[in-house]
Structure 1
Amino acid sequence: MTTLLHIDSSTQGADSVTRALTAHAVERLADGATTVERLDLVADPIPHLLGRPEDNRWVRQFMAADTIVIGAPTYNFTVPTQLKAWFDRIALAGTTFRYGDNGPEGLVGDKRVIVAIASGGNYEDGSAFEHNKSYVQAFFQFLGVEPRIVAARGVALSPTAKAEAIAAARAEIDQLAAALEPVRA
C-alpha cells in the first residue's frame, strides 16, 4: 500500500482555487490501494518554529508518504504562513537534508511532490512579484526533490480569467496524472 499526503493551506475555504485543484489531483492520483492522509494547515495549524526543529510527526508523515500534493495559494507574493510553518518543520538537518563538503545535500530522494499554486494576479516566472513558485521549487530541490508545479494565475482578474486559469490547471493535472505511474505499492 502507498500513501498520498494531501496538504491544504488556503484560508479561502470552499472558494479556494488551490483546494479545488489539489482535490482534483488527489482524485486523479489515488487508487483503491492508496492511503490518503489529509493535513489542513488552516484547520489544524502548526505552531511557528521556535528554536531548532526536532524530529516530529510532520517529518515522519512527510517521509512516509510516496506522493505529496500541496495547495500553495499566493498570499502577498509568496506562500501562506501556515505552509511556511510546515516547511520549517520538515526541513530537518540530518533527516531531510545535510551539509557536506560541497554544500547542502537533499536526503529525501524518490518522492513525487505536486504543488498547485494560485494567484489573483498574473505573476509570471521571473516577475519581481513571483516568490511563490520560485520559493516552493527551491525549497523542495534543497530537500532533493524536483516538484511538479501547476499554476492557476490571474484568478482575481475576471470571472473569465479565473475559469480559464482553473480549466488550464486541471488539464495540466490530468496530463501529469496520465504520465505518472499509478501510486501503488
Structure 2
Amino acid sequence: MHALVVNSSGRTDLSVSRKLVVELVDELKAKHPGLTFCYRDAAAGLPFVNELMISGFYLPAELRTPEQTQSLAFSDQLVQELQAADVLIIGAPIYNFSIPASLKAWVDLIARAGLTFSFSEMGFQGLLHNKKAYLVVTSGGVEVGSPADMATPYLRLVLGFVGITDVEVISADQLNLLGEQPIGAARDAIQHIHAVA
C-alpha cells in the first residue's frame, strides 16, 4: 500500500499541523510496516491555474499543443501521485476561516476532468475510489466543525467530488485559546487509528 502526504502550512518548525502529520505517519508506519510514502509540500510553491492550462484541460492529450502539454505536466504529476495513493494525508491549518492558498492550488491542479472526475448524465462522478483520507486540521481560534470553519467542509466536499468519501478528521483547534489540550486530543486520536483503507 502507498500513502500520499500533503502539507500546506506556511510554517515549518513551528507548525502544529506538520508535527501532527509526522506523528500520524509514524503511527501508520508502526501499524502498517509495508506502507510506503510520497511527500508533497504545497507551501513550497505550486503554480496557479492559468489560461494556458485551462485551454488544455478539456482537450484529449493528442490534440494539445506542445505548450499546453508542457503547462499541464506538473498537474499531471500531482494527479498521478494521488491516483497511486491508497491513503491520503492532508495537513491543513485554517487560515482566515479556510484552507491555505497553497492547498487550494493543489486542489485546482488535481481536479481534472477525465482523470479524477467525469461528467455524466447523472452529474459529476468521482473517479478515485477505495482510498482513505486523513485531514489533520489545526487552528488558532476557529473551532473545527463550527460555522466559522470553512476549511474542513470544503476539503470533505472536494475529496468527495473526486471520489474519496472515507475521510477522517484529526483536529487540534483553537490553540490560541485552549493551549496544549487540543494537541493532546489529536495525539490520542492518532494513537487510536487502526484502518488505513
Question: TM (normalized to structure 1)?
Answer: 0.88
* Structure 2 stretches lacking a partner, 5+ long: 58-71
Per the alignment, residue 85 of structure 2 pairs with: 65
Instruction: Kindly provide the amino acid, as one letter, of the partner of residue 107 in structure 1.
Output: L
| Distance of 1:103 and 1:35 partners within structure 2 | 34
| Distance of 1:139 and 1:24 partners within structure 2 | 25
Per the alignment, residue 50 of structure 1 pairs with: 50
Q: Secondary structure at the match of 2:99?
A: coil
| Distance of 1:121 and 1:42 partners within structure 2 | 21
Per the alignment, residue 33 of structure 2 pairs with: 32
Deviating above 6 A after TM superposition, structure 1's stretches of 4 or more consecutive aligned residues are none
Q: Secondary structure at the match of 2:164?
A: coil
Write out aligned runs for 1:76-155 (5 A).
Answer: 76-127=96-147, 129-146=148-165, 147-155=167-175
| Distance of 1:124 and 1:38 partners within structure 2 | 25
| Distance of 1:47 and 1:141 partners within structure 2 | 23
Q: Secondary structure at the match of 2:20?
A: helix
Residues 43 and 103 in structure 2, CA contact (< 8 A), matched pair in contact too:
no
Determine which of 138, 148, 172 is the counterpart of 2:189: 172
Deviation per CA, 1:120-149, whole angstroms, max 9, x where unpaired?
11324241x211011011111111112211
Per the alignment, residue 62 of structure 2 pairs with: none
1:112 deviates by: 1.1
| Distance of 1:155 and 1:48 partners within structure 2 | 30
CA RMSD of aligned residues (A): 1.6
Q: Secondary structure at the match of 1:14?
A: coil
1:56 deviates by: 0.9
The structure with more helix, counted as a fraction of residues: 2
* Structure 1 stretches lacking a partner, 5+ long: none
Q: Relative to structure 2, which stretch is displaced further, 71-80 or 140-149?
A: 140-149
